[in-house]
Amino acid sequence: MKTRVLLSAVGIAVLVASSMSSSQTKSGDTIVTVPFSFFVANQELPPGRYAVARMAEGVLRISTPDGKGVAISVHSTEGKGPEGGGKVVFHRYGDTYFLSEVWTPGSGIGKQVFRSKAEKEVEMLQGKSEIAVLRTK
């Protein structure tokens, strides 16, 4: 079991390294402009334009046009998909945002980000979160 987890982690690390070196977005990427800084995988990302792409089953890549970004573990979630485009959902605690979900255009299945330790700690201090939704291209 430990060997499988280690091999999966190594495989993801290789995928992350190769994908982060690419500076161009691919045609299947979801593009979103985020007007605020936000946290994903315990890393704070600045406001800006981001491409969100599927790297492997259960793994998304979030990166800037120059290729800087982070890979995150996700799981599928069902619901009513956005009409006419995709959406990216954030949990907001005061002025602190955490990436929560990514929905691609025309799909009733979204990808939900596993909550980080940092988000759980902020939630304990701040209490209930609010939802911020951004439309994607």
Write the CB contacts of 37 (distance below 8 Å, at least 6 apart in sequence).
44, 45, 46, 47, 97
Name every residue whose Cβ is closer than 8 Å to that of residue 128 and which is 6 or more positions away in sequence.
Answer: none
- For the cut 60, the answer to whether the pLDDT of residue 26 exceeds it is no
Q: How many CB atoms neighbour CB 42 within 10 A?
A: 12
The yes-or-no verdict on residue 21 having pLDDT over 80 is: no
pLDDT tens digits for range 77-121: 887 666 777 899 999 999 999 999 999 877 778 899 999 999 999
Model pTM? 0.76
64-100 CB burial, b ≥16 within 10 A, e <16: eeeeebbbbebeeeeeebbeeebbbbbbbbeebbbbb
How many CB atoms are located within 10 Å of the residue 101 CB? 18
Domain count across the chain = 1
- Percentage, residues of the chain above pLDDT 90: 50
Confidence at residue 20, expressed as pLDDT on a 0 to 100 scale: 38
How large is the average pLDDT for residues 46-53?
94
Which is it for strands 59-63 and 48-56: parallel, antiparallel or unpaired?
Answer: antiparallel
Contact 33, 137 (CB under 8 A): no
The range of the structural domain enclosing residue 67 comes to: 2-136
Query: Residue 137: pLDDT above 60?
Result: yes
